[in-house]
Structure 1
C-alpha cells in the first residue's frame, strides 16, 4: 500500500522539522507549509490525504484555513495547537477539524492518531463496515449506508468524528459505554487527551441532536464512567 500524503502546516521551524523527520523516519510522504496561504495552495495543488494543521499561523488563523479547505475537500484535518481551552477546540471542530492534539504532544501520540485516521481512510475507500440499515430513535434517523444523520427529516451536519461517535452510541443504544471503550473505538487509544477531546466532541454532538432544551436528552452522561444513548 502506498503511504498517504500528509500536508504539515506549521510556522515554527523546530516543530515543523520534528514532524517532518518523524514522518520521513516512518516512510510517510509529506509536504510542508509555513503559513496559511501556502497551506491552501498546497492542499489544492497536491490533494493530500491528511492535513496536520497549527492554528497560530503568521498570516491567518488556522480556523480560516480549515474553512477554506472544507469549501472543496473532506480531507481529514488534525489540528496541532498550543491552544488548550475547550472553546478553542470547539471552534476548530465546529468548522470541520476531525481531531485536535494539544501541544506539547508526544511523537508516539501523533503517530497513533495518524494510524487511526489512515485505517478510517482505508475502510472508507474499500467500503468496509458499511451497513445496509437505517437506525431511528425519536426524531433521529441514521442512514448507515449513506453515512448521513437526520433530525426531523433535516440532515444534521456532523464532523467525521461526531458521526462516528453517534453511530457507536446508536449501535449500543441503552448501554453505558465507558470513556476507555469509546476512545479506543474512535482513536485507537485511551490517552488522557483523548478523554478530554471526547468531552468536547460530545458537547458539540449534543447541541446538534438536542434542538429543544425541554426534550429528554438523547445522550446521557454517566459522570466518571461514560455515555449512553437512551431509547426515546
Structure 2
C-alpha cells in the first residue's frame, strides 16, 4: 500500500522480481515466479518524503530517486527487502523531471526543469562523477530522455516542442547532432527502437512521431500517430521492434 501513488516500477534483470516505488518513499518488492500469483516480499521505507522522479539501472539493483529535487543513488535488494543510500547528487533550483541509465549501467542522464541535462559516470555507485552538462540555446525544460541501445546517443525531449540527439561517444565532450521539430507541444516521451534505427517521440499535442535516426545528423520523420484524446506521457517499442 502506497499513500501517495506509485512513481516507478521495474523488474530485475531476470524478470522475476518486481519493484514498486511509491511517491511516499516506500519501496515494495514482489516475487513473480508465478506471474498469476505475485508473492509480496515486504516493503522498506525511508527513501524520501515526496519522490518526484526515479529510474532503475538495467539490472534493477540500483535506483536513482529524486526526493523533493534531491537525487540519490540507492542499492536495492529483495531478500530481505532493503534499500541503502549510496550517494547524493547536487540539487538544482527546479525539479528533476527525468532520469535514465545507459544500457550498460555506467552512465546516468538527469534532465532538469532549469533546462540542463547532466551526464554522470556512475560506474562507482558510491562516488559518481559528473561528466558533462548539456544546455541548448534557450534552456527549455528537459522533460524526457532515452539512451540508444549501444549507449552512444542520448535523446532528450523538451517543453519547446523539440527533441534533440546528443553524441555521447566521449561523455566528457558531448555534442548535439540534430534537432527534431515535429510537434506542436512539449515532448514528454522519447524512446529508441531496439535496433537504434528509429526514435518515437510523444507530446502534449496528443501525437506520436516516428523518426528514422539511422543517420544521427539527419533524422527523417516517417510517420505521425494521432487520435489520442489526451497528452502522451510514455511511448514504448515491443522487444522485436
Q: Which has the higher strand share?
A: 2
- With the length of structure 1 as denominator, give the TM-score of the two structures: 0.28
Q: Per chain length, whose mean CA-contact separation is higher, i.e. which structure has more relative contact order (CA < 8 Å, sep 6+)?
A: 1
Q: Which of the pair is proportionally richer in helix?
A: 1
